[in-house]
C-alpha cells in the first residue's frame, strides 16, 4: 500500500479508529483495485446501476442531476478519502438518478460488492463507521433538498454569503468558486445569480470586484 492510498484511507470515515496496519490487513483481505479517471470522463451516467464501492484517493468527483430542460444541479463533490454514493451501496434500487464525473484527474480505490460485504461483516468498527457515514449523508441531503426547493435565489445567495463569512471569519470574502459553479450548486441559471448579485450591490449590501466581495451591511443579509 503506497503512501497516497494510506493517507487517503486514514482520512476516510470508513476506517476511523483503525491503524495503518489494520488498514493494510483489510486491503489484503479484500483486494480492491485502483482506477484513474480524467476530467469529464463519463464514469456513471444517470440510470446506470451502481456497481462497486469507490473511495477517492486523490482528485475530486462531481455528482450532478440534469432536468428535462437541461438545467443542472450539482449535488455534491466527493473529495479525497470520501466514498462515492454510499447510500446506493445497499439500496434496493441501485440505479443512480444523476451522473458522476471527475472534476480533474482522479484515482479511485474500488471494492467489489462482495468484498465490501466481507469487509463490514468482518470488522464491526467499519460497519459502525459505515452506518455513521450513511447518517451524515442523509442529513446533508435533507438540508440540500430544503436549500434547493424552498429558498428563493436571493435567500440562497444570502445563505451562501453568511456561510462564507463564518468560514473565512471576515466580511472581506474571497470566493473560491466560479460564478458558474456557484450557480450549479444553487440549481439556478448563471444569469439569475448575476442578477441577484447586481441587486445586492445596488442596495448597498455588498461590493464586488472579481472574486472579492466586501460585505457593506451585514444587518441586511437576512
What is the per-residue pLDDT for 145?
A: 86
Q: Residue 48: what pLDDT? A: 92
Neighbouring C-beta atoms of residue 146, cutoff 10 Å:
10
Range list for CATH 2.60.120.10 in the chain? 3-150
CA atoms within 13 A on the CB side of 150: 7
- Distance of alpha carbon 218 from alpha carbon 173, whole angstroms: 13
The whole-number pLDDT of residue 62 equals: 93
Residue partners of 138: CB distance under 8 A and separation at least 6? 87
| Cβ burial, residue 123 (10 Å; 0-12/13-18/19+) | buried
Global confidence as pTM: 0.81
- CA–CA separation, 83 vs 161, rounded Å? 28
- CA torsion sign, 64 to 67 to 69 to 74? negative
Which segments in the chain show pLDDT lower than 70?
none
Distance, in Å, from the CA atom of 9 to the CA atom of 14, rounded to the nearest integer, reads: 8
Pick the CATH number of 3-150 from 1.20.1070.10, 2.60.120.10, 3.40.390.30, 3.40.50.1000: 2.60.120.10
How distant, in Å, are the alpha carbons of 45, 69, 105, 191 from that of 98? 6, 15, 20, 24
Backbone φ and ψ for 102, nearest 5 degrees, come out as -75, 135
Q: What is the DSSP letter of 40?
A: T
Residue pair 141/91 in contact by the 8 Å Cβ criterion: no
Q: What is the pLDDT of residue 200?
A: 95
pLDDT at 40: 76
CATH number (1.10.10.10, 3.20.20.70, 2.10.60.10, 3.30.1490.20) of 153-220 reads 1.10.10.10
pLDDT of residue 131: 95
CB 116 within 8 A of CB 50: no
Looking at the chain, the domain(s) classified CATH 1.10.10.10 span 153-220
Q: What is the pLDDT of residue 41?
A: 86
Q: What is the pLDDT of residues 168-221, one digit of tens each?
A: 999 999 998 899 989 988 988 999 999 999 999 999 999 999 889 999 999 988
Amino acid at each position: 500500500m503506497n503512501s497516497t492510498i494510506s493517507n487517503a484511507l486514514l482520512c476516510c470515515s470508513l476506517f476511523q479508529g483503525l491503524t495503518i496496519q489494520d488498514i493494510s490487513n483489510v486491503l489484503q483481505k479484500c483486494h480492491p483495485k485502483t482506477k484513474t479517471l480524467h476530467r469529464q470522463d463519463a464514469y456513471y451516467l444517470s440510470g446506470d446501476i451502481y456497481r462497486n464501492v469507490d473511495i477517492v484517493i486523490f482528485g475530486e468527483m462531481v455528482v450532478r442531476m440534469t432536468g428535462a430542460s437541461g438545467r443542472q444541479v450539482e449535488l455534491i463533490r466527493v473529495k479525497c478519502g470520501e466514498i462515492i454514493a454510499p447510500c446506493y451501496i445497499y439500496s434496493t434500487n441501485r440505479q443512480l438518478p444523476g451522473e458522476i464525473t471527475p472534476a480533474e484527474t482522479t484515482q479511485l480505490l474500488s471494492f467489489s460488492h462482495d468484498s465490501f460485504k466481507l469487509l463490514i461483516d468482518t470488522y464491526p468498527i467499519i460497519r459502525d463507521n459505515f452506518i455513521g457515514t450513511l447518517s451524515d449523508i442523509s442529513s446533508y441531503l435533507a438540508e440540500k433538498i430544503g436549500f434547493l426547493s424552498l429558498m428563493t435565489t436571493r435567500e440562497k445567495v444570502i445563505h451562501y454569503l453568511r456561510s462564507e463569512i463564518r468560514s473565512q471569519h471576515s466580511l472581506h470574502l474571497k470566493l473560491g468558486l466560479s460564478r458558474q459553479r456557484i450557480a450549479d450548486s444553487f440549481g439556478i441559471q448563471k444569469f439569475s445569480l448575476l442578477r441577484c448579485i447586481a441587486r445586492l450591490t445596488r442596495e448597498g449590501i455588498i461590493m464586488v470586484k472579481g472574486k472579492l466581495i466586501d460585505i457593506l451591511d451585514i444587518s441586511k443579509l437576512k
